[in-house]
Chains A and B, each alone.
Chain A
């Protein structure tokens, strides 16, 4: 049994005056592809922050490949875990390829800058994500969806064993949503990248992810294949909607 690449054990985190995470236990093996689902405020983003070491839990253990994340500096974490950031503004005119190249920062030589291997990784990322047609343009002038793809490419360029995405399809049209999902599958199955994605779209989640983790009010309610997790009762109880609204694959 190999070391889990991500392991949260008994993690509890207080945020302001409530408990954002309660006794969370989550083990992810290398090469897995999992989706975090749950209603707003369930604690999905908080869980990701704990995973990357941004937030320190009040109690519990967080490990990356067996190493406590609290002992790792930012650079070490960045070499193991890449996070696709949300779309933000850029203060200066920045080309698409320059944004993508930022993904290599954790690997670059601090003095000399990008190496040929870094350049190759960027080229590969552009290829994989399929943003070659955007190169040379000012990233500030792209549509939200295009920017989101560029940021995904940046995280891909970071070439880490673990890739984390927090609602990466928010601004994408259906075609690109599916394209992004297929990309994640490709990265996972061909490169063995462990993928952890927070998704709101239950159909996408259950179609493309073999393992779903359902959170509600800081607790993991269910953890397993989509058919086990997304039962009609669960949908009604946790999401508060008629299960008929959710179209699940057969």
Chain B
């Protein structure tokens, strides 16, 4: 019986060729970058675009055939915007995959534990209180959105530990309760906001309109380091696939890993929503699509989701821009909702927490 070569089941196609997959993903990112920088409401000659990039990024000394306006558009408006969209997409996708693995729930997304409501309430409060505060282009809005997201997830986590329920059930239900409370607070804030209501609304819909280099420089380290830290813990996420009991017996310190992964995923989510507002569906749908291709192992899902999320949001933002500055959250919803229905159809009944 032993020693014979066992035929292993059907191959997953490209899912079994990780290097090729990563290569394709990166290629998609590069295309998104080029398209994002080259296209917009103002027509810039492709030749000029390339020349500007070569001059500013690579330091090449070229004859200046482009206008100052074109240079501003490419370097100060489009480039940071595309990179911000990629950063946020990466953060949301990785956070979404992490939450789904942690909560063992395919319907989880980065906002399921109250992060969205907390960030929105923080932003709304920042809009209505008559204090102007800007540090390195981070206004009160970004700061309070970030803080709001983290405070809400921390509250949910601590409260969930006190209930008598199983940890996962407790997290989800507490998240729902706290999220509802915060949403009520948000509604109140919007009611009191008067003329500033539109600002809050724009935040809720999510956009990359206000992307700047400084904001990107602030959020990028958090996202990159946070996502990398999560990927280093892929083993723990895999161990949770069969549940807490099995994970413990496979050598995973479940309590500790859960807290760490929850914290990291919330951190990158908070950074993302702070600079872009609430963009939905990316965190929910990207990990699922990735799993269809590479399987459920976090070692594959996390990196490919990072690339996939970055590419998706970059393309979504491009579409949003070209369609006349509609909020990017609308584009992701239109793309994501059909996928979401598909996921629901494939979900199994008889699934236990």
Contacts and interface: CB of A to CB of B under 8 A. Distances in A.
B4 A90 contact: no
Contacts of A128: 1-2
A54 B353 CA distance: 20
B6 A126 contact: yes
A110 B232 contact: yes
Interface string B241-273: 111011011111100000000000000000000
Contact of A98 (B10, B296, B353): B296
Chain A, interface SS category: mixed
Contacts of B250: 78, 102-103, 105-106, 158
A105 B9 contact: no
A136 B9 contact: yes
B295 interface: yes
A113 interface: yes
A73 interface: yes
A2 interface: no
Given A85-B245, A102-B239, A127-B6, A92 B291 contact: yes
Interface in A132-182: 132, 135-137, 140, 151, 158
Contact of B296 (A74, A85, A92, A111): A92
B351 interface: yes
Interface string B319-351: 000000000000000000000000000101011
Nearest to A108: B235
A98 B295 CA distance: 9
Contacts of B352: 88-89
B238 A102 contact: yes
B170 interface: no
A82 to B, nearest CB: 7
B351 A89 contact: yes
Contact of B251 (A78, A95, A97, A99): A78
A96 interface: yes
A86 interface: yes
B100 interface: yes
A212 B234 CA distance: 40
Interface string A61-90: 000000000000111111101110110111
Given A74-B251, A85-B242, A93-B291, 11 more contacts: A74-B248, A74-B252, A75-B251, A79-B251, A98-B295, A98-B297, A102-B241, A103-B250, A110-B235, A124-B2, A136-B8
5 contacts: A54-B248, A79-B251, A105-B252, A126-B6, A127-B4
Interface of B: 1-2, 4, 6-10, 100-101, 104-106, 232, 234-235, 238-239, 241-243, 245-246, 248-253, 291, 295-297, 299, 346, 348, 350-353
Interface of A: 52, 54, 73-79, 81-83, 85-86, 88-99, 102-103, 105-106, 108, 110-111, 113, 123-124, 126-128, 130, 132, 135-137, 140, 151, 158
